[in-house]
Amino acid sequence: MTDTVDAPPPSRLSARAAHTAHVLRIILRTTAVNIRGRLEYPGDFAFEIFFGILWQTSTLAFAAVLITRFDGLGDFPDGGVLLIVGMRLMSHGLFTMVFGNLSDQLLELVEEGRVEGYFLRPLSVLTQILISRFNINALGDFFVGVTVCAIAVPQAPVDWTAGAVLYLGAAIIGGVFLEAAVQLPLAALLLRSPFAHGVGKWIDDIMATIGNYPLSILPTVLRGVFTYVLPLAFVAYFPVLVLLDREPEHGVLGWAARWSPVVCLLLFLLAKRMWNWNLRHYQSNGG
């Protein structure tokens, strides 16, 4: 008779890692199913991408005029301005792909009283909302951003070392988290009032307009608003200042500019806590 030794129980860290991997598999499979479903209508699929590109024609026109007519904007070289435009569009495209359902889709779910069903499934409500539909038109925004960045990179006066390229990628991902950090609290308020949907659209329009320009061309008061109130500066403006070696050298603002991707992630985690709190206190239309 041989003695048997029971296997040690899995650690909490390994159990969490296994759960995270399981959730990621669900997300990838659901997204693949959504995309395959949309590809059943290839004409509609292609039109939505084209519409996303068409929506950004004004941005492309602005980039073309800047390149052919001017040497820059304010104290920014044209390559630096184009880099801001390209980074913001890439971040916005990725944001719309991942978090786009926080606006129109969530409003529809709340108004129809279908959010309650998401509480019954063994997956977070936020994850279920995000993977419920894939926003095809976001690919158009992303492709335009890639195009503008491809034009901007060789023109920007930046020493493109491996570290600079990695920082560029981190800043683009950080921009995704920053937009989510702005829209997630509004989505949390949307659980209580449809009015938040209009506010979210308004803020999205502001970010789409102001985010394509260096904030240095704005008055000091507006620069403060878009740094401390609506922190649009962290999406592309501050990262481009760092790449151009023009960031503030001293103080908290200089540190925050250099660590913009981390600041964006921290703001997102804070916004997610607000979402979770509102979700715990959610009441349906029926009370």
Alpha carbons 141 and 207: distance in angstroms, whole number: 14
Quote the pTM value.
0.83
- In eight-state DSSP terms, residue 143 is H
Let me know how long the chain is. 287
Cα distance between residue 279 and residue 189, in whole Å: 10
DSSP 75-95: TEEHHHHHHHHHHHHHHHHHH
Alpha-carbon distance of 148 to 109, in angstroms, equals 36
pLDDT in the model for residue 128: 86
- Average pLDDT along the chain, 287 residues, taken 10 residues at a time: 52 71 77 74 75 72 68 76 90 89 77 76 83 81 87 89 95 95 88 74 85 86 92 93 83 88 95 87 62
CB neighbour burial string for 169-198, b if at least 16 within 10 angstroms, e if fewer:
ebbbebbbbbbbbbbbbbbbbbbeeeebbe
